[in-house]
């Protein structure tokens, strides 16, 4: 682990388009999934003999199944609007990390096999066969895209680069060249119920320990219930919330909110994971299988509501896809959003007076907020346009006296990825993660220098872990990153209502 | 497949250097694993490693960082019961680096 050697990019005073360095990241690729990890998901154990044919067949299937993919491949006019919008391009200076160039690794093969001009005059239209070299580029560079979709915001045609990355990864899984990090994790969800591989007894022990901690801290018997039948709410949260820091402080925050609101809730050991890495590898089948665990748990526990904890892509999957993947959720109480985000839940309680927050508890902090890509660009919260931007800020401001936003072109729908999203949060991609964090770190530095910001709050497990890892590379303290519900946890007034 | 040499025996590891077979772990193996990580094993390191192995024996997973800091705080005093202390011992991060030296599988997921 300590062997990776690379230079952390220098933070620039004014972000400018970098000078390109061809193949600067041609050495970067994640570990390939072992046959065991591949086969447990129903993918071939290793690269199949006739991989070219299988890959082209799969591409054809995806083009029929997802019309959007065909539109995206056909409609690019090479205008260049996306080129400098990618954090990985800015941080690595590798021209293949320009979103258009990364897409073209896929597009040129599409043209060769699925367009008239590409079939008969390939060289005129930049069409190419899927060679070993091209497959190598696919594996490298489609694992240098965090599917954050910032480039799509700037594309005049609305081309969704993430869908192309997802399609490429799905094709690679189908021919036996999957990524270890994602596929090992998905296997654990099917077998144990969560990304960590945290079995029920360990989860129960962890939760009990947290109850003792809260009692020691506050004197209140705040519960973290597990597998309680008949509870009103099922909370589905990323398993990192049971394990890592600062995630676990957010979990304590959720528990205090439920406690103080007097609403019965439970976690599930069967659906002990909100994350759904099926999306990262572009596999509808894997996504569906993971999502169905939540439905099964909700039915077995007899809950009336499902609330999702602080996890970026999980909220995209829950908000945008659960209904078709595992729905209909018509057994839930129709008076509440289905599913509901923990931020929406806490926000409503702030409005109704169901909880009271003492902002002074966070007076030692000047806080900024990192919009997570999948929340910002692929979902919504509340009943107002842009609610996914407003509600987290509203909750933070209700819990803190001092809040400052980062520069406008780095937040909300233009937010920069933390550098670790989309299935890239793995040690074997550390160089990419550090370099890809550059634009976000520059924006953070701006508010640190000008406004004295000393905390950045996030609502995504990946963002929190990625920040913890990369902050020190840029000279910031590791514990600068906090959970939004950690701020709520500090500020919430427990006990009898006054 | 990669491997490490411990007392004349070859132990298999994965690509990242985690032992494949937990049962093959010995204190000598821990020293070899630690050396590869540039970690100099002291009494304080062993406290953490031993706790990790005990916890793993019972729960088949490494403890949450908070569970670990609490246990270390109880054993070595409250000033050491925090993640800053653990990061001093295991600079790459207590969860992953300490697990590797303890011969446990790598914690996976968004951690």
Residues 6+ apart with CB under 8 A from A139: A29, A32, A172, A177
pLDDT of A386-435, one tens digit each?
999 999 999 999 999 999 999 999 999 999 999 999 999 999 999 999 99
**Which one is catalytic: B15, B43, B110, B111?**
B110
Beta bridge partners of A364: none
Contact B111 A244 (CB under 8 A): yes
Contact B111 A240 (CB under 8 A): yes
The C-alpha atoms of residue A306 and residue A342 are separated, in whole angstroms, by 10
Check if B74 contacts A (Cβ < 8 Å).
no
The C-alpha atoms of residue A454 and residue A173 are separated, in whole angstroms, by 42
The C-alpha atoms of residue A221 and residue A259 are separated, in whole angstroms, by 9
Token representation of residue A162: 């993430």
pLDDT per residue, tens digit, chain A (498 aa), is 445 589 999 999 888 899 999 999 999 999 999 999 999 999 999 999 999 999 999 999 999 999 999 999 999 999 999 999 999 999 999 999 999 999 999 999 999 999 999 999 999 999 999 999 999 999 999 999 999 999 999 999 999 999 999 999 999 999 999 999 999 999 999 999 999 999 999 999 999 999 999 999 999 999 999 999 999 999 999 999 999 999 999 999 999 999 999 999 999 999 999 999 999 999 999 999 999 999 999 999 999 999 999 999 999 999 999 999 999 999 999 999 999 999 999 999 999 999 999 999 999 999 999 999 999 999 999 999 999 999 999 999 999 999 999 999 999 999 999 999 999 999 999 999 999 999 999 999 999 999 999 999 999 999 999 999 999 999 999 999 999 999 999 999 999 875
SS3 A4: coil
Q: Where are the alpha helices (DSSP H) in A229-273?
A: 247-261
Contact B17 A1 (CB under 8 A): yes
Contact B61 A469 (CB under 8 A): no
**Considering only CB atoms, which chain A residues are within 8 Å of B51?**
none
A185, A204, A217, A244: which to substitute to probe chain B, counting the most B Cβ within 10 Å?
Answer: A244
The C-alpha atoms of residue A191 and residue B20 are separated, in whole angstroms, by 19
Write the residue in A184, A205, A243 that is nearest to B65 by C-beta: A243
Give B49→chain A minimum CA distance, Å. 17
Angle of CA points A441, A247, B105, to nearest 5°: 100
Contact A1 B37 (CB under 8 A): yes
**Considering only CB atoms, which chain B residues are within 8 Å of A238?**
109-110
Beta bridge partners of A368: A456
CA distances from A493 to A261, A263, A264 (A): 11, 16, 18
> What confidence score (pLDDT) does residue A1 get?
45
For residue A384, how many other CB atoms are within 10 A of its CB?
Answer: 11
Contact B109 A238 (CB under 8 A): yes
For A422-461, b/e burial (b = at least 16 CB within 10 A) is bbbbbbbbbbbbbbbbbbbbbbbbbbbeeeebbbbbbbbb
Edge-to-edge strands of the sheet including A367-369? A367-369, A455-458, A481-483
Contact B108 A197 (CB under 8 A): yes
Nearest C-alpha in B relative to A213: B70
Nearest C-alpha in A relative to B82: A245
Give A56→chain B minimum CA distance, Å. 30
The C-alpha atoms of residue A490 and residue A381 are separated, in whole angstroms, by 24
* H or E element at residue A458: strand A455-458
A31, A243, A314, A372: which to substitute to probe chain B, counting the most B Cβ within 10 Å?
Answer: A243
**Considering only CB atoms, which chain A residues are within 8 Å of B107?**
196, 243
Q: What is the DSSP letter of A483?
A: E
Contact A196 B108 (CB under 8 A): yes
Query: What is the pTM for the complete model shown?
Result: 0.97
> What confidence score (pLDDT) does residue A2 get?
41
List the domains of chain B with CATH numbers.
2-101 (1.10.10.370)
The C-alpha atoms of residue A105 and residue A168 are separated, in whole angstroms, by 9
Check if B61 contacts A (Cβ < 8 Å).
yes
Check if B47 contacts A (Cβ < 8 Å).
no
Tokens 């933390």 correspond to: A418
Count of CB pairs separated by less than 8 Å, A with B? 98
B65, B110, B111: which to substitute to probe chain A, counting the most A Cβ within 10 Å?
Answer: B110
Give B78→chain A minimum CA distance, Å. 14
Write the residue in A209, A461, A462 that is nearest to B67 by C-beta: A209
Contact A243 B108 (CB under 8 A): no
Nearest C-alpha in A relative to B15: A31
Give A408→chain B minimum CA distance, Å. 28
- CA-based nearest residue to A440, from A426, A462, B47, B96: A462
- Would you call B99 a catalytic residue per the annotation? no
Just give the CATH number of A35-178.
1.10.1060
SS3 A331: coil
**Considering only CB atoms, which chain B residues are within 8 Å of A197?**
61, 105, 108-109
Q: ipTM of this model?
A: 0.95
Mean pLDDT value of segment B16-20? 95
Contact B110 A195 (CB under 8 A): yes
Give A128→chain B minimum CA distance, Å. 33
**Residue A357 phi/psi, 5° resolution?**
-115, 135
Q: Are A151 and A86 in contact (CB under 8 A)?
A: yes
pLDDT of A209-235, one tens digit each?
999 999 999 999 999 999 999 999 999
Q: What is the DSSP letter of A83?
A: T
Q: Are A473 and A480 in contact (CB under 8 A)?
A: no
Write the residue in A2, A184, A185 that is nearest to B37 by C-beta: A2
Nearest C-alpha in B relative to A242: B64
> What confidence score (pLDDT) does residue A73 get?
98
Domain boundaries, chain A: 35-178, 186-491
Give A420→chain B minimum CA distance, Å. 9
């Amino acid at each position: 682990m300590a062997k990776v050697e690379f230079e952390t990019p220098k933070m620039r005073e004014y972000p400018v388009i970098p000078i390109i360095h061809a193949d600067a990241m041609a050495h970067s690729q994640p570990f390939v999934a072992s046959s065991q990890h591949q086969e447990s998901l129903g993918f071939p154990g290793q690269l199949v003999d006739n991989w070219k044919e299988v890959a082209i067949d799969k591409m054809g299937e995806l083009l029929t199944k997802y019309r959007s993919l065909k539109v995206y491949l056909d409609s690019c006019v090479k205008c260049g609007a996306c080129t400098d919008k990618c954090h990985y391009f800015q941080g690595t200076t590798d021209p293949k990390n320009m979103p258009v160039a990364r897409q073209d690794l896929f597009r040129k093969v599409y043209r060769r096999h699925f367009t008239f001009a590409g079939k008969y005059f390939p060289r005129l239209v930049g069409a190419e066969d899927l060679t070993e070299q091209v497959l190598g580029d696919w594996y490298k560079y489609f694992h240098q895209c965090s599917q954050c979709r910032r480039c799509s915001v700037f594309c005049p045609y609305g081309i969704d680069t993430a869908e192309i990355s997802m399609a490429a990864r799905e094709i690679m899984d189908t021919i036996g060249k999957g990524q270890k990090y994602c596929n090992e994790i998905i296997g654990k969800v099917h077998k144990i119920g969560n990304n960590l591989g945290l079995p029920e007894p360990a989860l129960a022990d962890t939760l009990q320990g947290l109850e003792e901690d809260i009692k020691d801290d506050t004197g209140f018997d705040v519960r973290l219930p597990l597998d309680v039948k008949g509870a009103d709410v099922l909370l589905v949260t990323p398993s990192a919330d049971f394990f890592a820091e600062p995630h676990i402080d957010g979990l304590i925050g959720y528990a205090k909110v439920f406690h103080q609101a007097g609403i019965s809730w439970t976690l599930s050991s069967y659906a002990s994971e909100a994350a759904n890495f099926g999306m990262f590898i572009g596999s509808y089948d894997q996504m569906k299988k993971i999502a169905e665990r939540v439905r099964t748990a909700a039915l077995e526990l007899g809950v009336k509501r499902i609330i999702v904890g602080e996890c970026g892509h999980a909220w995209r999957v829950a908000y945008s896809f659960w209904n078709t993947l595992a729905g209909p959720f018509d057994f839930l109480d129709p008076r509440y959003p289905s599913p509901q985000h923990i931020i929406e839940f806490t926000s409503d309680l702030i409005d109704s007076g169901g909880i009271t927050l003492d902002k002074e508890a966070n007076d030692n902090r000047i806080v900024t907020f990192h919009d997570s890509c999948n929340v910002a660009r692929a979902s919504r919260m509340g009943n107002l346009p842009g609610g996914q931007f407003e509600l987290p800020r509203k909750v933070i401001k209700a819990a803190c006296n001092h809040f400052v936003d980062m520069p406008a072109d780095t937040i909300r729908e233009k937010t920069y990825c933390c550098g670790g999203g989309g299935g890239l949060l793995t040690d074997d991609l550390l160089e990419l993660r550090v370099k890809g964090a550059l634009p976000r770190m520059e924006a953070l530095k701006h508010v640190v220098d000008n406004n004295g910001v000393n905390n950045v709050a996030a609502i995504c497990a990946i963002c929190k872990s990625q920040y913890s890892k990369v902050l020190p590379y840029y000279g910031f303290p590791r514990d600068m990153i906090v959970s939004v519900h950690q701020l709520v946890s500090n500020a919430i007034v427990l006990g009898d209502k006054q | 497949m990669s491997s490490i040499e411990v007392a004349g025996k070859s132990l298999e590891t994965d690509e990242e250097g985690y032992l494949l077979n937990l049962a093959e772990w010995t204190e000598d193996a821990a020293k070899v694993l630690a050396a590869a990580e540039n970690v100099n094993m002291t009494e304080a390191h062993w406290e953490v490693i031993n706790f990790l192995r005990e916890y793993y024996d019972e729960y088949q997973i490494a403890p949450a960082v908070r569970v670990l800091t609490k246990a270390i705080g109880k054993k070595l005093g409250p000033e050491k019961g925090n993640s800053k202390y653990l990061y001093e011992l295991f600079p790459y991060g207590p969860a992953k680096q300490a697990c590797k030296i303890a011969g446990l599988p790598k914690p996976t997921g968004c951690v």
